[in-house]
Structure 1
């Protein structure tokens, strides 16, 4: 009986916490604090575990953040979009990671907006803890980004990258799913 009540409580609080999302799929689960600003779209069965620090999903005017089904987002993650951030299906994003499609201000004049370029994480991507993904990056299907890496350029599918800036470590074996 207690287990059923806890599940019902998580379902109801998750609906409340995602109320500001433009679109949300079924069976979303949110534990902890979620901050949503702008056009944010969540797929089915997205899980957000923000128990240590809030997860921030912020899209500016005319921008959009889209997170595919069965993604897992951990505590302290910040995703900011001035144009578009797209995260595919079955992705995992580690603690304190940062994904942003813009510098959010010009280098010359901090009152002016910076250049934006869309960020895309294809399906089955895994970002370790404290990964930073910068504007204009596409991370290929099945790629893994090691903890603490700063991704400044595209990552090929099924690649393991790490470092600052992120560099190819090796290619991963393709698994049949």
Structure 2
């Protein structure tokens, strides 16, 4: 299921597995392949972009760009407003927290959050007994 509206640069470079759920405002910048596995869930307003631009301004004069494929393995969950950048692979069962910017590969069965996105913990059998994915214990401030 892919809820509208969604946006794609080409569309033909996006390959989606079975039992996929993509919520509203999903954006695919698919200048090269985006491969999404089975059982993947993507929350609202996520961007998957395979293309970026050089850092040095002299290299951007002619709108030069680079493109690298994105791979999202099976059973991944990506939270609202996350951005996945070129060349990233997100491993089996990983959870990407809302608002994260994924700049590098994320290992399987981990929870990763932040800007830039970093692994904060592994997903374990303890997670079978809870509905949420707590990152850490609540802090108290004096």
Q: TM-score, normalised by structure 2?
A: 0.80
Residue 106 of structure 1, CA deviation: 4.4
Deviating 4+ runs (over 6 angstroms): none
Aligned length: 124
Q: Tell me which residue corresponds to 1:93.
A: 42
Out of 75, 80, 90, the position equivalent to 1:139 is: 90
Q: Deviations over 1:9-29 (max 9, x none)?
A: xxxxxxxxxxxxxxxxxxxxx
Structure 1: give runs of 5+ residues left out of the alignment: 1-46
Residue 110 of structure 1, CA deviation: 4.8
Which protein has greater RCO, CA pairs closer than 8 Å, 6+ apart? 2
Taking the aligned partners of 1:133 and 1:171, their CA distance within structure 2 comes to: 20
8 Å contact from structure 1 (residues 106, 112) kept in 2: no
More strand by share: 1
Taking the aligned partners of 1:118 and 1:89, their CA distance within structure 2 comes to: 18
Residue 84 of structure 1, CA deviation: 0.9
Q: Deviations over 1:31-79 (max 9, x none)?
A: xxxxxxxxxxxxxxxx0122xxx1112228xx71111111000011101
Q: TM-score, normalised by structure 1?
A: 0.65
Q: Tell me which residue corresponds to 1:78.
A: 27
Structure 2: give runs of 5+ residues left out of the alignment: 129-142
Q: Deviations over 1:81-111 (max 9, x none)?
A: 11111110110011000001111x4452253
